[in-house]
Amino acid sequence: MNKPQKQLISSDLKGIILILSAAVLWGTTGTSQAFAPMGSTPRTIGALRLAVAGICLFIMAVGRDRNFYRNMPLKPVLAAGVFVAAYQVFFFWGVSLTGVAVGTIVGIGSSPIFAGILGRLFLKEKLQPKWIAATLCAIMGCALLAGSSSALTISIPGILLSAGAGFAYATYTIFIKILLPGRRAGAVTAMVFCTGAILLLPLLYGADLRWVAQPAGFMVILHLGIIATAVSYILFSRGLALTQASTAVTLSLAEPVTAGMLGVFVLGEQLTFTAWCGVCCILSGLSILAIRKPGKRRAHSR
């Protein structure tokens, strides 16, 4: 009986570590884009990011199984691809209208709420008090991070689009959760991101992509596509197979903490006292989810 207990505990912890690792990689996107040459736009960066990720994931999936796409239900794959593409469009469009601070807090902060509701409705996941406390704490932290900005722009269309991004991310998570049982995370992620990349290809029509030929531009796209998207979403999918969708999305709020730390130590930015309080709130919320009581472990021994 002790052996299954250890396996369950290690699987639970493994899921948390995988999702936090994915969130840390996502947190590098803002810093990476700061090094993009003149001429780059959020629209083209988002489309190229998915295109490179789709190609990378496809090669990885084919390397393991040439027929990886078989037995993949078309409708959930297409739906997940649509929401992956929608997240890119809604988020960057919303940020352009209401600013990075407000757009980020609405987009990232709303996603755990949507994930909790959708997980309860479609996956029958229970919303535990621990998840509610952790989510509220993390969202408060995101609000403090965003509120520390000296320039805030409020745009109703921008806020709605950013909320649409949060909904798209949460819905994508639900569809991935549905697709994962009995399938490899890499194969599922490859199918979904190839679909999303194809849907976003029209955004590149007529765009000036000469900046990509520059060494800095090429390296930025490679990092965003391979490390911050392909690798990170494989980690997220593997972690998602071991945790609830609502918990996974809340854990992904480690992303703004990573972005803030990189801004300080790499870009030389300065965080205000309010921003540091926000970082502490997010870390506290994540700790609530990560730390398990001894009694809880015994309850899972069966």
Asked if 114 contacts 170 with a C-beta cutoff of 8 angstroms, the reply is yes
For the chain, which residues make up each domain, given as ranges? 2-299
Question: Dmax of the chain from CA atoms?
Answer: 63
**What is the pTM (predicted TM-score) of this model?**
0.84
- CA neighbours within 13 Å on the CB side: how many for 65? 13
- Nearest partner of 172 among 255, 279, 82, judged by Cα: 82
Residue 10 has a pLDDT of 62
Residue 222 has a pLDDT of 95
* pLDDT tens per residue across all 302 residues of the chain: 455 545 545 688 899 999 999 999 998 887 787 788 988 887 788 889 999 999 999 999 999 888 888 889 999 999 999 999 999 888 878 877 877 667 777 888 889 989 999 999 999 898 888 899 988 998 888 888 776 665 556 678 888 898 999 999 999 999 999 999 989 999 999 999 999 999 999 988 888 899 999 999 999 999 999 999 999 999 999 999 999 999 999 999 888 888 778 877 887 777 788 888 888 998 898 888 877 655 444 333 33
Q: Which residue has the tokens 């194809």?
A: 198
